[in-house]
């Protein structure tokens, strides 16, 4: 079976090759691939990108003396875009995994997350046994997909392009639940009072900035993250965007 990452890389490379040929990169601009469908990390307000990762990306660029540019795309296209050098790096709630480390370099983690199930309050989730025989949605290519395959045998996994689609499918009654980051579960349930969520697992590793193998930016970004942590800037971002009420 052909690896899904390879398929995605081929498709993105073909669809964006003309763009990469025509677009001359400015060495003074740091280009991040992101996916603005995941509040509170990256999303749009009146068409403008905002969120934890967006602010962090701006701080990183500023501290290495560059301007910043974000390219918004589907999550499944982000890593292939970095591999194809459409973007210099990716910042989009990307979890470090052993599989991803074979193809990409990563910064040090800047946030460690837990996973939660979003469900309808009238059909609450209580234990992992509730997953058996149920349709559970998750983001295509995410660590949630990996977790479900490893820890939720007997679950029918429904993979979707983004979590907004998954939540809409839940509200429409097409699925039982959505496996998602806890802070995003909190954000979605605040907007949809008929939904609830429950933490189901702790992530093994944290979110990090992703780079093409051998990128000279890795150590620069690591140094910036250390400085931002020491100054309390990352803690400020957590309080601004991620505090779960």
Residue of 210, 194, 26 lying closest to 120 (CA atoms)? 194
pLDDT at position 1 is 44
Residue of 77, 74, 69 lying closest to 25 (CA atoms)? 69
CA pair distance 223, 64, nearest whole angstrom: 9
Residues 31 and 71 sit within 8 Å (Cβ to Cβ):
yes
CA pair distance 93, 179, nearest whole angstrom: 14
pLDDT at position 21 is 45
List the chain pLDDT tens, one digit each, 245 residues: 445 555 555 555 555 554 444 456 788 999 999 999 888 899 999 999 999 999 999 999 999 999 999 999 999 999 999 999 999 999 999 999 888 999 999 999 999 888 999 999 999 998 888 899 999 999 988 889 888 998 998 999 999 988 999 999 999 999 999 999 898 899 899 999 999 999 998 877 789 999 999 999 999 999 999 999 999 999 999 999 887 54
Residues 52 and 237 sit within 8 Å (Cβ to Cβ):
yes
How many angstroms from the chain centroid is the CA of residue 18? 26
pLDDT at position 3 is 54
pLDDT at position 194 is 97
pLDDT at position 79 is 96
pLDDT at position 7 is 54
DSSP string, 114-164: EEEEEEETTS---SGGGGTT-EEEEETTSHHHHHHHHH-TT-EEEEESSHH
pLDDT at position 245 is 42
Residue of 18, 40, 19, 43 lying closest to 31 (CA atoms)? 19
pLDDT at position 19 is 46
Check: pTM over 0.75? Answer yes or no.
no
Residues 188 and 118 sit within 8 Å (Cβ to Cβ):
yes
CA pair distance 95, 142, nearest whole angstrom: 8
pLDDT at position 236 is 96
Token pair 């429950």 in the structure block, residue: 198
Residue of 207, 154, 149, 148 lying closest to 179 (CA atoms)? 148
Domains, in order of start, for the chain: 4-111+205-242 (3.40.190.10), 114-202 (3.40.190.10)
SS3 206: coil
How many C-beta neighbours within 10 Å does residue 195 have?
19
């Amino acid at each position: 079976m052909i690896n899904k990452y390879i398929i995605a890389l081929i498709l993105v490379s073909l669809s964006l090759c003309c763009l990469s040929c025509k677009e001359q990169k400015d060495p003074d601009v740091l280009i991040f691939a992101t996916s603005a469908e995941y509040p509170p990390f990256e999303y749009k307000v009146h068409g403008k990108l905002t969120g934890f990762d967006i602010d962090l990306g701006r701080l990183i660029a500023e501290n290495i003396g560059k301007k910043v540019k974000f390219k918004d795309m589907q999550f499944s296209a982000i890593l292939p875009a970095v591999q194809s050098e459409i973007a210099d790096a990716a910042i989009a709630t990307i979890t470090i995994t052993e599989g991803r480390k074979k193809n990409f370099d990563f910064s040090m983690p800047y946030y460690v997350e837990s996973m939660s199930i979003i469900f309808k309050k009238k059909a609450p989730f209580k234990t992992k046994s509730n997953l058996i025989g149920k349709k559970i949605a998750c983001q295509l290519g995410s660590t949630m997909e990996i977790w479900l395959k490893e820890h939720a045998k007997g679950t029918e996994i429904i993979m979707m392009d983004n979590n907004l689609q998954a939540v809409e499918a839940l509200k429409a009654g097409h699925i039982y639940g959505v496996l998602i980051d806890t802070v995003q579960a909190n954000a979605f349930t605040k907007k949809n009072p008929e939904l609830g969520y429950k933490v189901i697992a702790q992530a093994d590793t944290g979110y990090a900035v992703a780079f093409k193998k051998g990128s000279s930016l890795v150590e620069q970004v690591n140094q910036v993250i250390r400085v931002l942590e020491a100054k309390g800037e990352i803690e400020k971002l957590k309080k601004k965007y991620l505090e779960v009420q």
